[in-house]
Amino acid sequence: MNKRFYITTAIDYVNGQPHLGHAYEKIVADVIARSRRSLGQEVFFLTGLDEHGQKVQQAAVAEGKTPQAYCDELAADWRAFAKRLELTNEDFVRTTEPRHKQFVQAILSKLHEAGQFYQETYKGFYSTKEETFLTDKDRLPDGTFDPAYGEVIELEESNYWFKLRNHQQWLIDYIEANPSFIAPDYRRNEVLGFLKNNTLEDLCISRPAARLNWGIPLPFDKDFVTYVWFDALVSYISIPAAHGDATVLSALNSQTQDASSETQLWPADIHVVGKDILKFHAVFWPIMLKAMGLLLPKQVLVHGWWQKDGAKISKSTGNIIDPIAVINEWGLDAFRFYVLRELDIGPDGNWTDSGFKSRYNAELANGLGNLVNRSLSMLKRYRNSVVPAKHDELAADAAKAADETRALLKQNQLQAALQSIWGLVTRANQYVDQTKPFSLAKDPAQAQRLDEVLYNLAETCRVLAVLLRPFLPGTATRIYAQLGLPGAPDKLDVATWGGLPAGHKINEPIPLFPRKDA
Ligand code: MSP
C-alpha cells in the first residue's frame, strides 16, 4: 500500500460551540484534502476534539456536569457541525477515546524509560487560564503579564519536565534546511527569530492530579495527569497507530498486528493550524517527535485569525459569527466560498456582513450563477436541451484555468485558484455579451454560429463544475446534474475540454444562487 496524503486540523477545545475561526480552518483542510483526491492521491484527513485540561473541566463544572458527560454532549454537536460543513474527514478523534489514551500512555512510558523526562519542583508564576508556566521574561514592559494570560498566580509544585533545551540548535538547523516545513515564509521567520533570540525552557508535561484531574494519568506516576498539549499533539500519531501505521507503531517497538490492514500515514503531509498555536507545532512537537524517533511532518501550514467588523471574535462581547446561521440562510457553498475567497492562508481576515453579501451577489449570483443559468436556459430554449457539435472557441481559456488551478492546488494556494477559476467565469460571461446568442437565435442564417456559442458555454459550465468541486462540492454536483451528467466530477482530469458529447440531453436549469437584495 502507498503512503497516503495525511492532513490534519488542530483539534478544538470542547468548551463551547464552534465558531467562524474553527469552521474556516476545517474548510481549508477539507479543500486541500478534496483537491489532493481530485489530483489522484489517496488521502487521510483527520480532525477532532481536544477534550482534556482545565478549560474543559471548568466549563463542565460551570454547567454542573461531569467533564465526560459534558464532552459527550458537545462532541455530538461538533460532529454534526463537521457534517454540516461537508467535511470529508476519514476519522474524527476525541482525546477521551481509549484508542488515543492508551497510545499517549504507551509513548509516555517509552520516553520515560529512555530518560527524556525528569521530575523537579517549580516555584514561580502560573497562568491558570492558559495552563502555562510564566517567567519574568513573559512580563510586558510595564511589569504586568499580558491580560490574555488571565489571572497569574504564584505556585510551587513538583512536576515532570521534558528535555527540550538540548535540541534548540538542531531545530534551527532543521527549519533552515527545510524551507517548506513552516508556511507561509513569514511564519517560519517568526519561529526562527524566536529560537535564535531565546533559550528554550524545558516543557512541563504533567499537572498534579490533586489540582487538575481531567487528563490522562501518567503511566509511571499516578499522582499526575498529562499536560493537555502533550496529550493533544499526540493525537496526530495515535490515530495513525489505531489504523495500523507501521511507522508510528515502530516508535513503540510494537508490531503491526495485521499487516494487511496497514495504512501508511506518517509523516503527516500537512498540519493546518492557526497562528496562535504555531509554537506548539513548530517547536514542541518537532522535538517530541525527534525524541520518539519519528520523522517530522512535511509542513505546518499556518492560517491567520478572523475578526468581525475589525474586532476580536468574542463570546463575551457578542461579536460572533454563527456559521450555522449563515449556512441556513445562504447555503453551505456561499459560506465556503466567502471564507476561502476573502482570506488567503496566512494573513488575518475580517468578516463583514456587507462584504459577504456583496461577494454573494457579485461573484456567485451574478457571476457563476448567472452564467450557468443563462447558458443552460438558452440551450434548452434554442436547441431543445440537446448539446450541439463540439466547438473550441473557449477551449484555450478553459485549459488555462484548469492548468492554473491544478498548479495552484498543488501549492495549497486556494484563494489564487478561485481567482483563476473566476477568470474563466468572467470570460464566459463576456462571451455571452459579445456573441449575443439571443440575437443569433432570431436569425436562421446564424444557426451554426448559435450552435458553436451554445456548445462553448455548456462545456465551460462543465469545466467550471470540475474545477470548483473541491471548493463548492454541492454546487459542482448541481451543475453536473443540470448538465444531465451522472455523479460528481471528482477528478481534475475530466476538466479536459470536450467532455460534453454532441447529442447529449441536458436537464432542467435551476438557479444556483438566487439573488438576494443587499
Ligand atoms: N486544542 C487546541 C489545539 C490542539 S492541536 C493539537 C486549540 N483549540 S482551539 O479550539 O482554541 O483552537 C482550534 C483552532 O481554531 C486553532 O488552530 C485556532 O487558531 C483556530 N481558531 C480559533 N479562533 C480563531 C479565529 N478567530 N480565526 C481563525 N482561527 C481561529 O488551540
Q: What is the DSSP annotation of 327-371?
A: HHHH-HHHHHHHHHHH--SSS-EEE-HHHHHHHIIIIIIIIIIHH
* Contact (Cβ atoms closer than 8 angstroms) between residue 510 and residue 481: no
Percent of the chain's residues with pLDDT above 90: 90
- Give the tens place of pLDDT for each residue, 333-362: 999 999 999 999 999 999 999 999 999 999
**Model pLDDT, residue 407:** 98
Q: Which long-range contacts (CB under 8 A, 24 or more apart) does 32-36 make?
A: 32/7, 32/270, 32/272, 32/409, 32/412, 32/414, 33/5, 33/7, 33/88, 33/89, 34/88, 34/469, 34/470, 34/473, 35/409, 35/470, 36/5, 36/7, 36/409
What confidence category does residue 261 fall into, taking pLDDT thresholds of 50, 70 and 90? low
Q: For ligand 1, atom 23, which residue shows the shortest CA distance?
A: 21
Q: Other CB atoms closer than 10 Å to residue 143's CB: what's the count? A: 7
User: Among 14, 20, 22, 345, which is best to mutate for testing ligand 1, by the most ligand atoms less than 8 A from CB?
Assistant: 22
pLDDT, average across residues 19-23: 96
Cell numbers given for 127: 497562568
What pLDDT does 242 receive? Answer: 97
Res 255: pLDDT: 55
Of 164-168, 173-177, 313-317, 384-388, the least confident? 313-317
**Residue 186: count of CB within 10 angstroms of its CB:** 11
Compute, in angstroms, the gap from residue 26 CA to the centroid of ligand 1: 10
Q: How far is the CA of 509 from the centre of ligand 1 (A)?
A: 41
430: Cβ–Cβ under 8 A, 6 or more apart, which residues? none
C-alpha cell at 137: 521574561
Taking CA atoms only, the protein residue closest to ligand 1 atom 30 is: 21
Helical packing angle, 370-383 and 473-482, nearest 10°: 10
Does a cis peptide bond (omega within 30 degrees of 0) precede residue 184? Answer: yes
Q: Ligand 1 centre and the CA of 9: distance in Å? A: 9
Q: What is the pLDDT of residue 257?
A: 53
Residues 53-111 have pLDDT tens digits of 988 999 999 999 999 999 999 999 999 999 999 999 999 999 999 999 999 999 999 99
Q: Report the atom number in ligand 1 closest to the C-alpha of 273.
A: 17
CA distances in angstroms from 165 to 161, 172, 197, 199, listed in the order given: 11, 12, 14, 7
Residue type, 287: I
- CB neighbour list of residue 320: distance below 8 Å, 6 or more residues apart: 19, 20, 308, 313, 314
- Cα dihedral across residues 79, 82, 87, 93: positive or negative: negative
CA distance 412 to 417: 9
Q: Output the pLDDT for position 1.
A: 66
- pLDDT, tens only, 141-164: 999 999 989 999 999 999 999 999
**Is pLDDT above 80 for 315?**
no
The reported pLDDT for the residue numbered 152 is 93
Ligand 1 neighbours, Cβ below 6 Å, are 10-13, 21-22, 24-25, 50, 232-233, 273-274, 276-277, 305-306, 313
Give the CA angle between residues 305, 78, 184 to the nearest 5°: 25
Q: How far apart are the CA of 219 and the centre of ligand 1, in A?
A: 28
Q: How confident is the model at residue 137 (pLDDT cuts 50, 70, 90)?
A: confident
pLDDT (0 to 100) of residue 314: 82
Q: What distance in angstroms lies between residue 391's CA and the mean position of ligand 1's atoms?
A: 49
Q: How confident is the model at residue 135 (pLDDT cuts 50, 70, 90)?
A: confident
Which tens digit of pLDDT belongs to each residue from 412-435?
999 999 999 999 999 999 999 999
Distance 277 CA to ligand 1 centre (A): 7
pLDDT of residue 258: 52
